[in-house]
Structure 1
């Protein structure tokens, strides 16, 4: 039932765990394949265009439903 002093393991200090975490993060970031400048520009423009198109579609539906609402309830 009782644990011997050798069997009890202390948790590493907060500092040691933080240092280990930072080292692991740096190691993982070295494995990342970062996009080139031209890829980044293309992806960014694609996202902006899609957001604008979706915004216009939502605005059109809002205008349509607003118009239908005024026809029915006004």
Structure 2
């Protein structure tokens, strides 16, 4: 177990950590991507719901 922890710390020392500027840019990219995908999914959901209400639900209730 001690060897595992030692090796883990050794590997962590080799990691090239992002600079604050890179971290900021990556964070912005992730947030923008999440918002765009969320809007896309919302648009698809709204469209499918509208189609369902217009064609499927009215046919079933007649």
The reply to whether TM is greater than 0.5 is yes
Matched length = 57
Q: Which ranges of structure 2 fall in alignment gaps of 5 or more residues?
A: none
> Which residue does 1:19 correspond to in 2?
2
> Which residue does 1:29 correspond to in 2?
12
**d(CA) in 2 for partners of 1:50 and 1:29?**
29
**d(CA) in 2 for partners of 1:22 and 1:72?**
62
Q: Which ranges of structure 1 fall in alignment gaps of 5 or more residues?
A: 1-17
Question: Deviation above 2 Å: which 4+ runs of structure 1?
Answer: none
RMSD between aligned alpha carbons? 0.5
> Which residue does 2:47 correspond to in 1?
64
> Which residue does 1:46 correspond to in 2?
29
**d(CA) in 2 for partners of 1:51 and 1:67?**
24
Distance apart, 1:70 and its partner CA: 0.6
Q: Which has the higher helix share?
A: 2
Distance apart, 1:29 and its partner CA: 0.3
TM-score by length of 1: 0.75
Bigger radius of gyration = 1
TM-score by length of 2: 0.89
